[in-house]
């Protein structure tokens, strides 16, 4: 049983189309696999950059400084003295009395805290202003470069 030339051409065309379809499927699978791996990498990078451990490892000196500053600022300014009172019902119940003591050590500590807060605020504001200036300079440089590209 011999096939006509037209039937042979159809079979050849069918084989070529099947081979081409397999190539397209393989390329699509490769592209999807690459896309998945890229997305997974971006997600893991983003998760690691959002963790405090990443920033502590990247900037250990700043982290130590921030921890010390926060601890120093958050330290209580008041001292508590405990005074024992005796009532007829409950003998020797402790009563906590908040007392604000202004001795030399507290005044110096308070002044140091105030100065550190002022320095930290000035530093942060300067960094923000520098970042804004850099972004504005970058945008103006990009805008001035665009007309040259069109020429």
Residue 8 lies in a domain: no
- Chain-centre distance of CA 72, in angstroms? 24
Residue 40 lies in a domain: no
The alpha helices in the chain, defined as continuous H runs, are 5-50, 52-58, 60-74, 104-150
Find the length of the chain.
Answer: 151
Model confidence at 151, pLDDT cuts 50, 70, 90, reads very low
Q: List, for residues 14-53, the tens digit of each pLDDT value.
A: 999 999 999 999 999 999 999 999 999 998 888 888 888 8
Q: Which domain holds residue 141?
A: 102-146
Q: List, for residues 116-132, the tens digit of each pLDDT value.
A: 888 888 888 888 888 88
pTM over 0.75, yes/no? no
Residue 7 lies in a domain: no
Handedness of CA 123, 125, 129, 132 (dihedral sign): positive
Residue 75 lies in a domain: no
- Which has more pLDDT, 139 or 39? 39
What pLDDT is recorded for position 3?
A: 75
> What domain count does the chain have?
1
């Amino acid at each position: 049983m011999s096939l006509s030339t037209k039937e042979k051409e159809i079979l050849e065309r069918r084989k070529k189309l099947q081979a081409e379809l397999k190539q397209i499927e393989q390329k699509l699978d490769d592209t999807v696999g690459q896309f998945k791996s890229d997305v997974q990498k971006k997600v893991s990078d983003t998760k690691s950059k959002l963790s405090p451990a990443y920033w502590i490892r990247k900037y250990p000196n700043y982290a130590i400084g921030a921890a010390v500053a926060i601890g120093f600022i958050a330290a209580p300014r008041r001292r508590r003295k405990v005074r024992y009172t005796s009532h007829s019902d409950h003998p020797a119940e402790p009563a906590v009395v908040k007392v604000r003591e202004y001795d030399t050590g507290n005044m110096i500590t308070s002044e140091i805290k105030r100065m550190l807060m002022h320095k930290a605020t000035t530093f942060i504001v300067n960094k923000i202003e520098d970042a804004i200036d850099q972004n504005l300079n970058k945008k103006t440089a990009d805008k001035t470069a665009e007309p040259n590209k069109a020429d």
